[in-house]
A and B are shown apart, each in its own frame.
Chain A
């Protein structure tokens, strides 16, 4: 067979592709060759020499992680000569490893310990010398380079998917791993993804919070998924006596961001609510569940009776499981017979763009996977995806390493800008213009023009593109031409789009580029900040659809059959409509949502909440919104409830319950409420809900969508270059997240300047670092500190997405564009 090589390892024949290393070929036979510096998922360097093997007709021993296989090669992996050499290598390493396995936290998970045991090293042959390095007590990570064996895995993984801040420093016996000038990790630009800890074979790099919390074999490992964003990365919780002591990735090089790896503190924070609270005489006081739920049932019932279906509403979080979401919407639609049920995905363009995404791809089946990203020839990255969904960075870097061309559209000069082949530095608000310009450039090519002309309504599209392409933008002409060339000429293209983090026009203009180049299948990778955005909206979590994306106006009778009660056939109010002052909603139930803390337009939301007769908030902690509620109910988190989630790129996962909640599960709460209202809704168990979802929508809502025939019209966009007004934009700064309170309770706010309370400006503006200023927009004003950021262009100010500043300064209807702003010293 061409390109294949057959060799013999330990007497067994194996055929592998040309270029495979001996180590990998052995793996294919299930033979494990000991290795320290080689790490699955990283390039080998052949530093440690532990993986030496004997190859017949080759004089010296051969390094298995580096040597490529050859036809007819005969390899022996476990001869006395090999074992002797390995033992010697290990002896040398141990001579500089003053570790005490007796008390080392790594014990039981340490490669050095494992191989010393396997090779039968009873006592070290050489005297053990202690290098005497100072132990570096960094944020989240403790670095004890006395235990380091200089395998270089941390350096390579930091280069591959991290911030690239480590290297070997000095030389010879003085060599050690370090940051530039030996600065602490935080000052060195570390992202705290913890990949270095994950790959370290010894106890040199350890999670700080894990130290002293038990030996490896005492920890219970529960596989789960991260609930911090729509990527839903795979992770393991390691628990001791029911408490999370560390989080690990399932494979050494699998990426987890700082939030996933170190951000679990909120789950077991003392701030968690454990008992319901009700308002008495202006104060929230603890009561038992029965009393609180009676009050909720009574008030919801009264509001429904008095104000009708429009008078009650529920808003749920896109961070809950499918089962929880399904139960909540069923309680409202079937129980209270109102379709006023909506979720946080509505804020911004998230919902609209996910629907458009389906109209391009024909449904989630047609989305691109991580594999498609890795194998792409050209990648178009729009906006601050890498801050919102940090896992994308690792994949992007690998894809570019494999030859993909990256086009990055964004104003912020951070890592994607450096990695990109073409950086389209559009100022905030110019993005749709730049994308339209690319479309125009591509349309100049006869082949694309001919293809596009066949698309319905082409004329109006061509006209719009023509008009928008004439608006001057700040991106240099040659960059635009280069990007248009790459996007139209390279074979496999993937668009990485943060659906909840761009303006609708930007999203639509980007999708138009997919349509224009005939890329419908496996070419769109949607991302969002919400772990279960897809699950929640597909299973009835938005006003206009019953579960399975069945339109409310058409499917009432269909659902009457499932639910045994005829639901209301009138579409409900969206979240934005419900929260608008003067809306008909009088009793509101918020499940895991904190509009005052995380939605833009907090001023008008506060006014609306003041109009309510009754507000019930169910959340993990006493949020800003909960402080205003009449009843507050504790909520079990996703790692506690477990259940089904659908990552934004369409992968469905079933999670087991990783932590035992000390409170009622959310569906139990809805079941008790239903019972108090004499409603039979069958909400009492997760399995019941799961089975019901399967009956209602066997595809779990991941249904094929009708494909859009023409292009999207962008409407009014602009203003383009030449507008001298300061533009304010909400930008996800690492490690931002939808629920800032979770980051704070987990101690992650230290990764941001001024703990996230700042407005970022270019150093070219006439203000100094730390200056206290008032930022004003047409929607509100906010006093905060100036943080000078070299990555920002002049004329652009940015506040962290999801921050109180963003909440005050942007409107609920359009949070992800730019707004004109002024800044003055306070």
Chain B
């Protein structure tokens, strides 16, 4: 039995018998795996007595549930109004070119995910990118990426 199935059974067992717990269950699963693995979804549907379609319908309503594994580093390029004015389109294009990823894609080695988001609420820093949970001004995406990659190498050295 896969890890996703075993872990999901444990998570579901914690909530079973209570109403309105589906989102909590999914959050816990995502917290554990970084996304919602299909085998986990099947377990939830079966155990909670909802159809798989309904479960995916409900989960896909929320932008922050993910259905595929995500990269170790998640780059979110802000596409809000202020960032747009300050050239976020070019920022996204640059990241896309450098990483070889289209918007919403994850690199096959699971190191990077590139996403566009609407507004992260730091318009003063526009154009903004969020790298994992940190906010940066992305006036020079190339430099940011270089720093990121260096940091990664450094991590590996230790």
Contacts and interface: CB of A to CB of B under 8 A. Distances in A.
Nearest to A168: B57
Nearest to A171: B61
Given A159-B51, A165-B52, A181 B67 contact: yes
Contact of A164 (B41, B53, B58, B62): B53
Contacts of B52: 165, 180
A180 B61 contact: no
B53 A165 contact: yes
B136 interface: no
Contact of A167 (B38, B41, B54, B62): B54
A303 to B, nearest CB: 60
Contacts of B54: 164, 167
B33 interface: no
B61 A179 contact: no
B150 interface: no
Interface in B42-93: 51-58, 60-62, 67
A279 B36 CA distance: 64
Contact of B51 (A165, A169, A178, A181): A165
Residue from the set B54, B57, B67 with the largest chain A CB neighbour count within 10 Å: B57
A295 B63 CA distance: 75
Interface of A (DSSP majority class): mixed
Interface string A186-206: 001000000000000000000
A452 interface: no
Nearest to B38: A181
A142 to B, nearest CB: 20
B57 to A, nearest CB: 3
A63 interface: no
Contact of B41 (A169, A178, A180): A180
Given A180-B41, A180-B52, A167 B57 contact: yes
A336 interface: no
A791 to B, nearest CB: 12
B65 to A, nearest CB: 11
Interface string A254-293: 0000000000000000000000000000000000000000
Nearest to A189: B52
Interface string A490-518: 00000000000000000000000000000
Contacts of B41: 180
A178 B60 CA distance: 11
A165 B41 CA distance: 14
Interface string B83-118: 000000000000000000000000000000000000
B51 A170 contact: no
Contacts of A171: 60-62
Contacts of A180: 38, 41, 52-53, 55-56
A427 interface: no
A158 B57 CA distance: 14
A171 B54 CA distance: 13
B41 to A, nearest CB: 7
A166 interface: yes
Contacts of A158: 53
A181 B45 CA distance: 14
B53 A167 contact: yes
Given A181-B38, A181-B67, A164 B51 contact: yes
Nearest to B56: A180
Interface string A147-171: 0000000010011000011111111
B38 A169 contact: no
A188 to B, nearest CB: 8
A170 B41 CA distance: 16
B61 A166 contact: no
A170 B53 contact: no
Contacts of B67: 181
A166 B56 contact: no
A178 B61 CA distance: 12
Contacts of B51: 159, 164-165, 167
Which has the most chain A C-beta neighbours within 10 Å: B38, B54, B60? B60
Contacts of A179: 53
A158 B52 CA distance: 13
A171 to B, nearest CB: 5
A158 B38 CA distance: 21
Contacts of B62: 171
A166 B54 CA distance: 7
Nearest to B68: A181
A179 B38 CA distance: 13
Contacts of B53: 155, 158, 164-167, 179-180, 188
Nearest to B61: A171
A155 B54 CA distance: 10
A181 B61 contact: no
Contacts of A165: 51-53
A157 B134 CA distance: 47
A167 B52 CA distance: 9
Most chain-A CB neighbours within 10 Å: which of B38, B41, B53, B57?
B53
B26 to A, nearest CB: 14
A188 B52 CA distance: 9
A158 B58 CA distance: 17
A169 B57 CA distance: 5
Interface in A58-73: none
Contacts of A159: 51
Interface of A: 155, 158-159, 164-171, 178-181, 188
Given A165-B51, A166-B53, A171-B60, 18 more contacts: A155-B53, A165-B52, A167-B53, A167-B54, A167-B56, A167-B57, A167-B58, A169-B56, A169-B60, A170-B60, A171-B62, A178-B56, A180-B41, A180-B53, A180-B55, A181-B38, A181-B56, A181-B67
Which 10 A-B pairs have CB atoms at the shortest separation, nearest pair first? A167-B57, A167-B53, A180-B56, A164-B51, A169-B60, A171-B61, A180-B52, A170-B60, A165-B53, A167-B54
10 contacts: A159-B51, A164-B51, A164-B53, A165-B51, A167-B56, A167-B57, A178-B56, A179-B53, A180-B55, A188-B53
